[in-house]
Chains A and B, each alone.
Chain A
Amino acid sequence: MSDPVKPDKPKKRHSLSTRLWHWINAAALIVLFMSGLNISNAHRYLYWGDYGYDPADAWTSVMRFPGWATIPGHYDLAAARDWHNIAAWVFGVGLLFIWIMMLVNRHFTRDVMTSRSDWSLPVLAKSVRDHLNRDFSTRQGKYDPLQKIAYGTVFGILLPMMIFTGLAISPGFEPAAPWLIEILGGRQSARTLHFLFAWGTFAFFVVHIALVLLSGPVRQIIGMITGVESEDRNDG
């Protein structure tokens, strides 16, 4: 199956589909998150169940997000909804695309899917130690267990749940799949979960950026653009 890599040929890190999706998805997620914060400002209270309109019944209220964090940069629910819903198409179709590609080119089974040994305590402990010591030298292009678990969570849980909880809030979609709203615990629960998964995705984004910065940002970014491993591994 795998061709032997000639020593003088640059090592391939990321396939074209991965790179295309990565950057388009990054743009879509930024628009979704920032327009979502604008939408959140319309009603800053979160509820569980089917209904909720009285702040006294809210399980929590969230801050009013400042203009620098929102799209547009001032409160405009109509425009924010336009941005949110168009970026959602890019995000949703893109996620379907990358899942199909990851399964077809076996990126998922080869690199992301964990094996039993990834979950053994000593291996996990070493992975945690390596991250804490910022030691990324032993990878040889392979994902270590923490990375696999992180990407698996993002692809398998966080991103799909953003789509499902988002669809569940839409009253025009609901007649197509009322069971979706039911299993999520009602529309206001779906709205709460949409908010929580959005922040989960944001947390991944922060850790992802931090680890890129720590592990040689120039090499990593060139790798995600050109798909080729550059020679200098110690630029970070």
Chain B
Amino acid sequence: MAEVKRRTLLASLAALGAGACSKVADSDTGANLLDSAEEWHRAAHRALAGRQRLAPEYAPEDRSPDVKGNGSVTVDTPEYQRALAEGFTNWRLTVGGLVETPMALAMDELRALPQRTQITRHDCVEGWSAVAEWKGPQLGQILDAARIRPEANFIVFRCADTLYGEAYYESVDLVDAYHEQTIIAHELNGAPLPEKNGAPLRMRIERQLGYKHAKYLTAIEAVASFDDIGKGKGGFWEDEYGYQWYAGI
């Protein structure tokens, strides 16, 4: 394995010198190199920051005026529009997959759980940032209540929205799923989550970029592998446009 990586690296560096970047990226060795680089980034971040170190939290006066709605800013289905009109009284968040106790949680039940409130910065892969207060139950306590099975390695987030004709979804590993600041937010700046920001529920994965923070959340699924989900890369942007599954950089 190490030998393969070393050869891959040498081959890619040689090609890099020739300025043939797109050819490198299209080749198998080039793609492997770029994939393993993503693993180095994750390993380096985890080694430097530890698994549970927190993202910075801000004071109320540091908040930005708003949080930009990006990607899907609504869900164009009659079901969602009806739920929105009803104030999401019948919205259910299902918790399933590799769990002992599958659940379907109503909004009131989510609000009745212990809540975490955090003023954090949202960083989009495009480069912009917003600072806002998010409130909701920690994902970890819901996973504990559902009792995830030992063979589960990833948590998949299912969403009501489609983007460019494909169902939005995302996934994280258990380190980020159980991170203290990983919450299922139902409030933004003290008010119910606005439609453009993912009403009624969205994920907060504070140490990663915005596309990991799945909006219009309908289901949480514990899985051993995401190879058979979507196109197998672990998320909408990963599947459709080659974005990095680890979005901490």
Residue from A45, A78, A170 within 8 A of B248 (CB atoms): A170
CB distance from A235 to the nearest CB of B (A): 25
CB distance from A16 to the nearest CB of B (A): 18
Interface residues on A, range: 35 or more
A178 touches B56 (CB 8 A): yes
Residue of B nearest to A173 (CB): B45
- Render B43-76 as a binary contact track against A, CB cut-off 8 A, 1 for contact: 0010011100111101000101111100000000
Interface residues on B, range: 35 or more
Residue from A53, A54, A78, A178 within 8 A of B242 (CB atoms): A78
With A27-B16, A174-B56, A178-B56 in contact, is A39–B64 under 8 Å at CB? no
Residues of A contacting B237 in the complex (Cβ-Cβ under 8 angstroms): 78
Query: Which of B161-169, B186-194, B206-214 lies at the interface with chain A?
Result: B206-214
Residue of A nearest to B19 (CB): A30
With A172-B207, A173-B45, A173-B49 in contact, is A187–B17 under 8 Å at CB? no
Question: Within 8 Å of chain B (Cβ to Cβ): is A216?
Answer: no
Q: Which of A47, A76, A175, A178 has the most CB of B within 10 A?
A: A175
Question: Within 8 Å of chain B (Cβ to Cβ): is A82?
Answer: yes
Question: Within 8 Å of chain B (Cβ to Cβ): is A215?
Answer: no
Residue from A24, A47, A85 within 8 A of B41 (CB atoms): A85
Residue from A73, A77, A176 within 8 A of B45 (CB atoms): A176
- Render B117-139 as a binary contact track against A, CB cut-off 8 A, 1 for contact: 00001011111111100000000
Question: Within 8 Å of chain A (Cβ to Cβ): is B196?
Answer: no
Within A32-47, the residues touching B (CB, 8 Å) are 39-40, 42-43, 45, 47
Question: Within 8 Å of chain B (Cβ to Cβ): is A51?
Answer: yes
Residue from A24, A52, A89, A171 within 8 A of B208 (CB atoms): A171
- Render B176-218 as a binary contact track against A, CB cut-off 8 A, 1 for contact: 0000000000000000000000000000001111000000000
A50 touches B62 (CB 8 A): yes
Residue of A nearest to B16 (CB): A27
B25 touches A79 (CB 8 A): yes
B121 touches A176 (CB 8 A): no
With A86-B34, A172-B42 in contact, is A43–B124 under 8 Å at CB? yes
Compute how far the CA of A45 lies from the CA of B68 in the bound complex, rounded to whole angstroms: 14
Residue from B13, B25, B124, B128 within 8 A of A82 (CB atoms): B25
Question: Within 8 Å of chain B (Cβ to Cβ): is A191?
Answer: yes
A176 touches B53 (CB 8 A): yes
A78 touches B37 (CB 8 A): no
B129 touches A51 (CB 8 A): yes
CB distance from B82 to the nearest CB of A (A): 31
Residues of A contacting B66 in the complex (Cβ-Cβ under 8 angstroms): 54
Residues of B contacting A188 in the complex (Cβ-Cβ under 8 angstroms): 128-129
- For chains A and B in complex, what number of residue pairs have CB atoms within 8 angstroms? 136
CB distance from B64 to the nearest CB of A (A): 4
B121 touches A78 (CB 8 A): no
B249 touches A54 (CB 8 A): no
Residues of A contacting B55 in the complex (Cβ-Cβ under 8 angstroms): 171, 174-175
Residues of B contacting A73 in the complex (Cβ-Cβ under 8 angstroms): 22
Residue of A nearest to B70 (CB): A53
CB distance from B241 to the nearest CB of A (A): 5
Residues of B contacting A86 in the complex (Cβ-Cβ under 8 angstroms): 33-34, 37
CB distance from B123 to the nearest CB of A (A): 5
Residues on B close to A: CB < 8 A?
Answer: 13, 16-17, 19, 21-22, 25, 33-34, 37-38, 40-42, 45, 48-50, 53-56, 58, 62, 64-68, 121, 123-131, 206-209, 237, 241-244, 246-249
Instruction: Beyond A42-B127, A171-B123, A172-B248, list 9 extra A-B contacts (CB 8 Å).
Output: A24-B13, A51-B129, A54-B65, A79-B25, A86-B34, A169-B123, A172-B208, A175-B50, A187-B121
- Could you list 7 examples of A-B contacts with CB < 8 Å? A43-B126, A53-B68, A78-B242, A82-B244, A83-B21, A85-B37, A176-B53
Residues on A close to B: CB < 8 A?
Answer: 24, 27, 30-31, 39-40, 42-43, 45, 47, 50-54, 71-73, 76-79, 81-83, 85-87, 89-90, 169-178, 181, 187-188, 191
User: Sorted from nearest, which 10 A-B pairs have the closest CB atoms?
Assistant: A172-B248, A176-B49, A53-B128, A175-B53, A176-B48, A43-B127, A172-B45, A175-B49, A51-B64, A43-B126
